[in-house]
């Protein structure tokens, strides 16, 4: 795809400010994977339908395959690489691991970020809220029950940690 002349873009990603020259219409998904070498963000459909490429942008969950680089000028981004801290899995990641919420793993980064976003809004979500919160994320492997159970367990762990 032709992306026209590169522009200088500054963004903060996983707490680090970066400047890079990229074509303004290059997809954020490709900027992450090719220019920033953050390959944890996955491509599924490439059409905004599956959520595999989801990242947090200015506090909102976005499908990075639909976001042109020019829109991330000055943005705060979080990718799956920014979820674990100091080499320790985030409790949500740990729960996905323990409850079998990940199989091939293609959908998992997007699911984890969608779960973080959901639990920020609803720390003790109902099953309906979980299903709605993860409604934009498709999985071909798990049948969803294990994913939903992983989210429930992550919420319980977070609540127990706050008591």
Tell me which residues touch ligand FES (CB under 6 A).
43-46, 48-53, 63, 65, 102-108, 139-142
Contacts for 108 with CB less than 8 Å, ≥ 6 apart = 96, 101, 102
Q: Compute, in degrees rounded to 10, the torsion defined by CA atoms 101, 144, 48, 5.
A: 10
Residue 147 CB, shortest distance to ligand FES, in Å, is: 8
Shortest Å distance, C-beta 37 to ligand FES: 18
**Residue (49 or 132) nearer to ligand FES, CB:** 49
For ligand FES, the closer of residues 90 and 146 by Cβ is 146
At how many degrees (to 10) do helices 91-98 and 108-121 cross?
Answer: 120
Reported as half-sphere exposure (CB side, CA atoms, 13 A), residue 45 has a value of 14
Closer residue to ligand FES (CB): 124 or 132: 132
- Cβ atoms of 77 and 59 within 8 Å: the answer is no
Nearer residue to ligand FES within complex by CB, 105 or 123: 105
Closest distance of CB 104 from ligand FES, Å:
3
The answer to whether the beta carbons of residues 41 and 33 sit under 8 Å apart is yes
63/115 with CB nearer ligand FES: 63
Residue environment code for 50-62, b if the CB has 16+ CB neighbours within 10 A, otherwise e: bbbbbbbbeeebb
């Amino acid at each position: 795809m032709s992306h026209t002349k590169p522009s200088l873009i500054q963004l903060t990603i996983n707490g680090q400010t970066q400047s890079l020259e990229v074509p303004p219409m290059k997809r954020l998904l490709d900027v992450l994977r090719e220019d920033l070498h953050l390959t944890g963000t996955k491509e599924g459909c490439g059409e905004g339908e599956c959520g595999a490429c989801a990242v947090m942008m200015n506090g909102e969950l976005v499908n990075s395959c639909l976001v042109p680089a020019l829109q991330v000028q000055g943005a705060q981004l979080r990718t799956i690489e920014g979820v674990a801290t100091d080499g320790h899995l985030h409790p949500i990641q740990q729960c996905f691991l323990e409850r079998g919420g990940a199989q091939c793993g293609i959908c998992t980064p997007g699911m984890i970020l969608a779960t973080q976003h959901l639990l920020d809004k609803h720390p003790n979500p109902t099953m309906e809220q979980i299903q709605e919160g993860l409604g934009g994320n498709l999985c071909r492997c798990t049948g969803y029950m294990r994913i939903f159970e992983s989210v429930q367990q992550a919420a319980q762990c977070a609540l127990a940690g706050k008591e």
